[in-house]
A = this chain, B = another copy of it.
């Protein structure tokens, strides 16, 4: 394909004058078809570039999770993030995509399109572009769980639940809210549920699965003292975590505006909303931590940006920039109180995933109804609450059963000795930083 400038330009011109226009002399009809084709090409480019950005979020999640946890588990976290995307891609290819977007007679799940089987070489390749955009979303849901269960989960158990989330839990809920690709609508979509890019569909699913996992597996050794105190277990690499947040912010510019899957003018407002909510999330989380702890805390501020991003995900296409600022600001305050709340319940979530994704997924979905530019009503809010509730019931229940089953059948958690030694050596026979002197802090 790396042919000549002239040849390739000639080729394009020939394509227009023959294949495209169907005739050597262009007519208004043939031109109209050619215009539609160029627009379609723009849609492909935009959707697939957005997919790249969302894929990049995997790197962001890996850096955030590693940065916020201890050096002795860094390899394990890299392996988890690599594998939830890799196995998740295969699981979503084989099963998930069909359940989520296949032909659905009931509105509860699809029953076709497994193994990308409805695609034929001479069929419409849009299904492939669409799959590519969806697979990176599916992997996001699975990755969110990883952070809440970090530093104590068996690697085999991780691989199992990661596949279940990507193949079943996420796609089935997704089919309710985003409907079938081939016919009809999911039942939540049919009600008028608003969740443009997935505050509920992606983030709350991830967050509630994370909640179930954190409850079933229990807190890390030493996190909560017998006297009821909470011990901060500091992350080992804050610049890495911050880099992860910047990468996630970048990726969200694919996540939200890319959800148009169309190159049109509507993406501009979605960009602005996404950015403003992230910014106010960071600012308000920083201010809240300042008031609560006396100093502007870096972990809370970084999570505040993510909370703002989760918060604007549902409503990014139907609220105004000014509303985005309010939504992001509330998310930033909420994430700090939520982290403290779960610590009070002794639910140990090393990176704050439940607060960032679960709680703010709820807030974002509500906010999409409250700040709807076309006006709001008790009915709109009610439908949003139905979706929020359905997500919690479905995800938390299934995830809880799944984690319990894995625990009973295969074991979910490493032994206390292994946890103290660190998962890198125990599970992977490695050492993330062999050239550096590791302080005794890590050993406890």
Closest to A90 in B: B279
Among A25, A36, A45, A239, max chain B CB count under 10 A is at: A239
CB of A238 within 8 Å of the partner chain: yes
CB of A415 within 8 Å of the partner chain: no
A79 to B296, CA, bound (A): 9
A3 to B177, CA, bound (A): 10
Q: How many copies does the complex hold?
A: 3
Closest to A234 in B: B434
Closest to A60 in B: B246
Q: Decide: A86 near B283, CB < 8 A? Known: A132-B268, A253-B52.
A: yes
A132 to B279, CA, bound (A): 13
CB of A160 within 8 Å of the partner chain: no
Main secondary structure of the interface of A (DSSP, over half): helix
A442 touches B432 (CB 8 A): no
B263 touches A41 (CB 8 A): yes
CB of A81 within 8 Å of the partner chain: yes
A31 touches B35 (CB 8 A): yes
Within 8 A of B (CB), among A43-83: 43-46, 48-49, 51-53, 55-56, 58-59, 62-63, 66, 70-72, 74-75, 77-79, 81-83
Q: Decide: A282 near B86, CB < 8 A? Known: A1-B261, A35-B35.
A: yes
Q: How many residues on A have C-beta within 8 angstroms of the other chain's C-beta atoms? A: 154
Within 8 A of B (CB), among A178-199: 178-183, 196
A235 to B291, CA, bound (A): 33
Give me 13 A-to-B residue pairs in the complex whose CB atoms sit less than 8 angstroms apart, sorted by A's number: A1-B261, A3-B181, A8-B262, A34-B35, A45-B45, A83-B282, A89-B279, A116-B272, A116-B321, A121-B373, A296-B427, A433-B436, A435-B439
Taking A41-B42, A234-B430 as known contacts, 10 extra A-B pairs with beta carbons closer than 8 A to each other, sorted by chain A number, are A16-B39, A55-B275, A62-B239, A77-B239, A78-B302, A82-B305, A83-B301, A90-B283, A116-B321, A434-B441
